[in-house]
Structures are given as structure tokens and as C-alpha cells.
Amino acid sequence: MIFFDKVIKKYTDRSVGLNGVTLSIEPNEFVSIVGHSGAGKTTLLKMLLAEDNPTSGKVFFESVDIHALKSKDITKLRRRIGIVFQDFRLLPDKTAYENIAFAMEVAGRPDTEIAADVPHILDLVDLNKKAWNFPHELSGGERQRVAIARAIINQPDLLMADEPTGNLDPSNTYEIVQILKRINDLGTTVILTTHNKGVIDSLGKRVVTMEKGKIIRDDSRGKYVL
């Protein structure tokens, strides 16, 4: 599904984001990417979104060279990718329901689909009772669950979660991880970046470890080793 072919990203002679990364991720995999700050994790995600271009090498999504796509085709590609951030990035003047519905509206989905799908997704992330609460009325864990629901409402092939538990306590962290596992079990490929050793060790899934722009470990059922 995803293939990085000897990807190098140089910002300056002294600043290298990726240094010869070759990585493949199969459909429906759950892959955690770990590494210290500056290891290249976020650069890797930006390459998949075509927000950044490689200095050399290629990135493929289902055999398509992402960075050879035209602008309109990049937009189509991004619709197949959901992304969750550490800081939630919810619209403060919209309720949980409206934040999720807005993602469907932007994608041109009809009102009938929105009315049918949003309650279902809210139920999937255990927030059906908070549908009409605004972000400031929700806990950090609840806001992150809204962000996840918004990211998957258009049924993406890939969900990228960039440090989604970074601002959460252990209890909420556990709930978010369980939701990500549930989404993966339903057939969505998940890429998770995290510094949280407990999250990685509890998952028992594939772990890719990065350091200074390079992949230094790739374990099919790994633990957090740095």
C-alpha cells in the first residue's frame, strides 16, 4: 500500500529530515513509528500527505508516485488519508457533531449521509452522549476522540495519528489506543507516531524506530527500544 524507496530529505547541508529511508506498509497494518524529537517521524508523515517533497527517492501510495501527482490528484489522495494531531485542531465554535459533519460537508457528502453517518461514528468513539457539546465543554480525551471521529468519517484507507496521546493522562491514553485498534480491526491502515513507551509495549504491533532520519529497527511485534 505504502512504499518509501530510498527517500532522502535535506533541508540544508546540516539538516537532514530523512536519510535513505526504505519502508513498506501493507494494507490494514498497524505500524508505530518511534524516535526522539527530530528523528524524522513527522517528516515521514508529511511526505505521505505531499506537504513536503523528497530531495531524492520516491514515495508510493498504491503504486502511485505521490510527488508526481498533479495538484487536483493530490487533493484526491488526501481525501483517502485521515490525520489526528496532538493538539486536536477542532473548530471551537462547532459542537462535536458539527465538527465531524463539517468534514463530510467539505468532501461534498449529502445531508442524508451526514445524518446517518455522524451518530454511528460518535458511537464508535463512545461520544454519542456528548454530540452537542462544544470543544471547551469536553475533556482532553473526549476532544481527541472527536478528532479521531472527524478523521475517519469519510472512511479513509489510511489513518495517521501524530502523537495523539501526547497531552493525555494514562486513562485517556488507554481509551484512545483502544479506539485506534478498533479502527484498525475494521480494516483501516493505521500509522501511529508516539514517544509513549507504555502505548507501544501494550500494542504488540509492528514498531519502526527512527534516529537522525534513518530507520534503525523494524520489529514485527516490537517494544519501545531507544
What is the model's pTM? 0.91
| pLDDT at residue 13, as a whole number | 79
Cross-strand partners of 83: 160
Greatest Cα pair distance, the chain, in angstroms, is 53
Residue 93 burial (C-beta neighbours within 10 Å; 0-12, 13-18, 19+): exposed
| pLDDT at residue 220, as a whole number | 87
| β-pair type (81-84, 64-65) | unpaired
Give dist(CA 7, CA 75) in Å, integer.
22
Each residue's pLDDT tens digit, 111-166: 999 999 999 999 999 999 999 999 999 999 999 999 999 999 999 999 999 999 88
pLDDT along the chain (226 residues), means of 10: 95 90 96 91 93 95 94 92 91 97 94 96 94 96 95 95 89 91 94 88 91 93 70
| pLDDT at residue 226, as a whole number | 63
Cross-strand partners of 8: 19, 56
| pLDDT at residue 37, as a whole number | 84
Spatial neighbors of 137 by CB under 8 A, at least 6 apart, are 130
Cross-strand partners of 30: 190
